[in-house]
Copies of this chain bind each other. A is one copy, B any other.
């Protein structure tokens, strides 16, 4: 089970935020947002909840688990 996310879409859909803009609202660095969007690392629940809150979405609508690669049959 691997973590996937729709952060980039959620961020733009909600108010055309930039990575920098979201980072400031959330209280983390731009690189952290970038790294999450590009699945370079998986955030803590606290950060994920904060991001979801800022973007006014349910956490599960942004972050979700999926069978390791190849869920597209």
C-alpha gap A60/B59 in the complex (Å): 8
B64 in contact with A3 (CB, 8 Å): no
CB nearest neighbor in B for A41? B44
Residues in B neighbouring A64, C-beta threshold 8 A: 49
A5 closest partner in B (C-beta): B45
What number of copies of this chain does the assembly contain?
2
Q: Is the CB of B50 within 8 A of A46?
A: no
| Bound-complex Cα distance A2 to B46 (A) | 8
A48 proximity list for chain B (CB < 8 A): 45, 48
How many angstroms between the C-alpha atoms of A42 and B44 in the bound complex? 7
A1-45 interface mask toward B, CB cutoff 8 Å, 1 = contact, 0 = none? 111000000000000000000000000000000000000001111
A56 vs B59: C-alpha distance in the bound complex, in angstroms?
Answer: 16
